[in-house]
Structure 1
Amino acid sequence: MSKEKVNNLSPDLWVDKYADYLFNFTITRVRDVDVVKDLIQETFFAGLKSMSRYEGKASERTWLISILKRKIVDHYRRSNSNKGRAEVRMNFYSEASRQGDWIEESVSQTGSNRPDAQLEAEELGQVLSSCIKKLSKRHKTVFEMKTLQDFETDEICKVLK
């Protein structure tokens, strides 16, 4: 490795290892490619600036996602100054044991003004919930850790043995 690891972080590998994941995570929340790229770049810069505070309790990717979530919230905070828009709550801690969230106003997402959008979302939620209930306890835990809590596969394997 060309640079020494600091606090088990490898910033020289961040773009190669995490840029695609961070892009996919962000594009579903922001929907503007140029803004997404800027937010990811800001995330990497913030990560570099705060490397000394990384405690190693979360994976590198999870830590970067937590920084990115704050960047997304800041973006909406800057772009939405009108009161009375729908609230978006976003947990800013990666650990479930810690509590706190940002409350942010957001503009309507593309397609959310369609009359059937809410019905589709409700139906999808019901189908997903039904499928999750059919999983064994262990598979349900794996699914939730991977998709809802952004754990990496290696972390899930270690936790669940």
Structure 2
Amino acid sequence: MALDHGQLSEHRNYLFRYAMLQLRDESQAEDVVQETLLAALQASFSGQSSLRTWLTGILKHKIIDLIRKKSREPGLPDDFSDVADSGDFDGLFEANGHWTEADFPGAWDHTAQAIEDKQFWATFERCQQLMPKRVALVFSLREVMGLEIDDICKRLEISATNCSVILYRARMALRLCLEKNWFGTAGEAR
């Protein structure tokens, strides 16, 4: 099915927000959204999924292509040295690796409802934006884009151990931020 500009423009803001969350660069986000919309105009939409889902799939591939291209260019730091000091989570655990009683994650009773809630996703995005840029990039590549750790390591030229540490720190930082800013310290929503 051929699409027109009007059908695509309805999804432009959503695509731009999605790209900004992944890239954190307005001009790059704008570029990949424009490439996505152009590709959609040139392709044939089969209607097997929703238009937004189809466009998001195209956008994901455009973002991955951009990240691949950027990782080949000089100037992308490859040491991830700022990750080592991005957060200390040792105080959350006992010597045996279990959560300390005071820091045990609260019950997230409203999780199913929160997933549907736009405010939750706005909070999630703010929490992700608080992460160091490269930590957020690795997190997005793994958890949002669904890339395997080996692929991430090849693209960013980091070791699997380093990648795992970055993902651990990103998940912990996200968990703490959501506990504080969404679920509250006692596990109650807002």
TM-score, structure 2 normalization: 0.45
Does the 8 A contact of 2:3 with 2:41 survive in 1?
A: no
1:122, CA displacement in angstroms?
Answer: 2.9
Question: 1:121–1:38: structure 2 CA closer, same or farther, 3 Å change rule?
Answer: same
Counterpart in the other structure of 2:57: 66
Does the 8 A contact of 2:16 with 2:29 survive in 1?
A: yes
CA RMSD, 1 decimal: 4.0
Which ranges of structure 1 fall in alignment gaps of 5 or more residues? 1-6, 93-99, 108-112, 135-161
| AA in 1 matched with 2:5 | D
| AA in 1 matched with 2:175 | E
Which ranges of structure 2 fall in alignment gaps of 5 or more residues? 81-134, 158-165
Question: 1:79–1:12: structure 2 CA closer, same or farther, 3 Å change rule?
Answer: same
| AA in 2 matched with 1:123 | L
Does the 8 A contact of 2:16 with 2:33 survive in 1?
A: yes
Return the index of the structure with the highest Cα Rg.
2
Does the 8 A contact of 1:39 with 1:71 survive in 2?
A: yes
Q: 2-side partners of 1:47 and 1:126: how far apart?
A: 39
| AA in 1 matched with 2:71 | N
Does the residue aligned with 2:10 lie in a helix, a strand or coil?
helix
1:30, CA displacement in angstroms?
Answer: 0.4
1:36-64 CA distance string (max 9 Å, x none): 1110110011112221xx32111111100
TM-score, structure 1 normalization: 0.52
Does the 8 A contact of 1:43 with 1:68 survive in 2?
A: yes
Aligned residues between the structures: 109
Give aligned-pair identity as a percent: 25
Q: 2-side partners of 1:59 and 1:84: how far apart?
A: 40
Does the residue aligned with 1:56 lie in a helix, a strand or coil?
coil
| 1:8-157 superposed matches below 5 A | 10-51=3-44, 54-81=45-72, 88-89=141-142, 90-91=145-146, 103-104=151-152, 105=155, 119-124=172-177
| AA in 2 matched with 1:64 | L
